[in-house]
Structure 1
């Protein structure tokens, strides 16, 4: 009949500028297709024409972990470590990070480090941070600003009383440490070597000196990190929707939350292509269970065509006079219908023309 079933090799994809539509040049073995086998011109199998959204996507290998590793250093005059938040635990606002000589150092939220003892008359961003934390904990009666007033000191005294501390109205690095949010304890000390004071892991009974690492922490929420070639960075912009497949097969939705600004060569000596770091945050982080540094896959949703008709790619026919068509099966008969092609994605192709409608059956190989 002079018509051939298309091979499945997709050799070239050309994006039509501005339309987000991909037209694909399809080539393959031009051999007669065994799609008419019952003597009535009917295909061996059919598939429905469907209407809906069609989205292309790319798949990347990623790693499940936590974001933002940093050190918590000892403050105050130093002493003996009598308690440490255990690795794997999450420490939130006003909870203990560690204890020195039985006295707790607690976490407060903020980007400025706790570098001095705050008292009435002090001014600065660290004052505002402290006041924001006191207000978040329910202490009132002062203005949240950059000035440590007598009212601020009174709120600090109430906080001290709640923790069975001497009510001085002053507060320093021997009592609190700042971090941007809740933290997850990765390990004690700086994470390598042994002993205290000069770095390495620490344990209760070790001596804590001012400025020495006590804990290594990360952000508390699970995230996924991966790299994409710099040339493909447009496929992973901030806000891009993704589906993450965990090691146990669970699929969770998320979005790209951070994109690196600097491209660097990978560690693979066989692939020195400059790549950019991408971070994905989950819509529901609590569901992202799994061991740190475990491998995951990330499907990034690219261009989406809304409310279009599509058929399986293997339903396409190469027509004898050029162009493409599908074999529509209706009322026990088959006819060839010329179609215009749009996006290829998810094993399907967008089609239009020929009076096609959702629910029609088109021929496919068995």
Structure 2
């Protein structure tokens, strides 16, 4: 923004000016007065070419997804537990009950039966010779033992059949973690899950064990908007996520947007945002702020809204300043307006100087 001494023409005096928006730009020092006695000082600025953007802020919710209860047959008194928000990985203790660990293992199939070596020389109630246990759950157990480093001196394979080698590797593991060395295992000792888990809630030490609630480890940020504002958050849009009680800003990307209903039954557009870096699973806050900048017009000529003059006959003009200080009204079409800046089109060029009424 500059201050110029210009000659005010009669045409300009006839302009009816609409409500003028306060000038958002700073000013430079004024030059010396012009020699012409009819010249008056005014503020001017240049027509610029730019992307026209607008900023918006949304209140958001931080969620770790839908929680679930891990099934275990363990019973007794809780002697060790995690705090809410702690992440448990494969091979780590989920909880200790009666001073015995319940360990998390990788697998899609739950531990639905006791796994053990079957005496194939014995017969069942129908008189049939018993067969060894086989199945995907056995293979899961074998993979867990291999990943944990218990391979029965290199003899164990994840072949899905529970035999003497699997029993030997299992006993080695049970001894190492402080469980009874039985060669048998059930969900009181190992719980399978398809991913590491975050502790959502757990019984306190000293309580009788009831259940272990967990949720996914990856946080999501969710924003509910109305139809008008959903355009600020299209899939793939970049945003900034700010968490409470911190100045840190996390980069985020809109992962999805879908129509749903909020708790009151109103229809909203729910936007899911993922951050990089990921939000710390230990976070217990449930709120966040999402900031987004939206491009409303690309590569357009712009002026401050305060530079627009409403004409008596309708439409708008800007008052351009020539090299000699004389001003001329130039009619323009007004496009998008954002944050005090207007898109214009007409017989005007980037770099032209226009008057901004004070």
The TM-score normalised by the length of structure 1 is: 0.65
Is the counterpart of residue 105 in structure 1 residue 106 in structure 2? Answer: no
Structure 1, gaps ≥5 residues long: 10-37, 189-201
2:197 — aligned with what? 183
2:208 — aligned with what? 207
Question: What is the Cα deviation at residue 291 of structure 1?
Answer: 5.4
State which of 349, 352, 355 in structure 2 corresponds to 1:356: 349
1:169-205 CA deviation, whole Å, 9 max, x = no partner?
76542233344544333432xxxxxxxxxxxxx3223
State which of 52, 76, 91 in structure 1 corresponds to 2:50: 52
State which of 322, 325, 335 in structure 2 corresponds to 1:342: 335
- The total of aligned residue pairs comes to 309
Preserved CA contact (<8 Å) 1:229 1:273: no
1:13 — aligned with what? none
**Alpha-carbon distance in structure 2 between the residues aligned to 1:109 and 1:314:** 64
**Alpha-carbon distance in structure 1 between the residues aligned to 2:357 and 2:141:** 69
Closer/same/farther in 2, CA of residues 72 and 289 from structure 1, 3 Å limit: closer
Say what the alpha-carbon RMSD is for the aligned residues: 4.3
State which of 285, 290, 293 in structure 2 corresponds to 1:292: 285
SS in 2 for 1:207: coil
Closer/same/farther in 2, CA of residues 156 and 259 from structure 1, 3 Å limit: farther
2:84 — aligned with what? 87
Closer/same/farther in 2, CA of residues 341 and 83 from structure 1, 3 Å limit: same
1:267-304 CA deviation, whole Å, 9 max, x = no partner?
4xxxx64224333222223489975124x332345555
Preserved CA contact (<8 Å) 2:67 2:200: no
Preserved CA contact (<8 Å) 2:111 2:190: yes
State which of 212, 225, 229 in structure 2 corresponds to 1:228: 225
Closer/same/farther in 2, CA of residues 343 and 72 from structure 1, 3 Å limit: same
Question: What is the Cα deviation at residue 77 of structure 1?
Answer: 4.2
Is the counterpart of residue 319 in structure 1 residue 311 in structure 2? Answer: yes
Question: What is the Cα deviation at residue 213 of structure 1?
Answer: 1.4
2:15 — aligned with what? 3
**Alpha-carbon distance in structure 1 between the residues aligned to 2:215 and 2:85:** 10
Which stretch has the larger CA shift, 101-110 or 167-176? Answer: 167-176
Which stretch has the larger CA shift, 108-117 or 160-169? Answer: 160-169
**Alpha-carbon distance in structure 2 between the residues aligned to 1:351 and 1:92:** 58
**Alpha-carbon distance in structure 1 between the residues aligned to 2:271 and 2:133:** 44
1:257 — aligned with what? 255
SS in 2 for 1:314: helix
SS in 2 for 1:79: coil
Question: What is the Cα deviation at residue 85 of structure 1?
Answer: 0.8
Closer/same/farther in 2, CA of residues 233 and 306 from structure 1, 3 Å limit: closer
Structure 2, gaps ≥5 residues long: 1-12, 22-36, 117-131
1:311-331 CA deviation, whole Å, 9 max, x = no partner?
223322223443323333454
Question: What is the Cα deviation at residue 81 of structure 1?
Answer: 1.6
**Alpha-carbon distance in structure 2 between the residues aligned to 1:332 and 1:159:** 92
Closer/same/farther in 2, CA of residues 83 and 246 from structure 1, 3 Å limit: closer
Question: What is the Cα deviation at residue 57 of structure 1?
Answer: 5.2
Preserved CA contact (<8 Å) 2:51 2:295: no
Question: What is the Cα deviation at residue 6 of structure 1?
Answer: 3.6
**Alpha-carbon distance in structure 1 between the residues aligned to 2:302 and 2:146:** 56
- Map 1:135-150 onto structure 2 (within 5 A): 148-149=160-161
SS in 2 for 1:257: strand
Question: What is the Cα deviation at residue 83 of structure 1?
Answer: 0.5
Closer/same/farther in 2, CA of residues 85 and 291 from structure 1, 3 Å limit: closer
**Alpha-carbon distance in structure 2 between the residues aligned to 1:263 and 1:93:** 37
State which of 240, 243, 246 in structure 2 corresponds to 1:243: 240
The TM-score normalised by the length of structure 2 is: 0.66
SS in 1 for 2:349: coil
Preserved CA contact (<8 Å) 2:241 2:250: yes
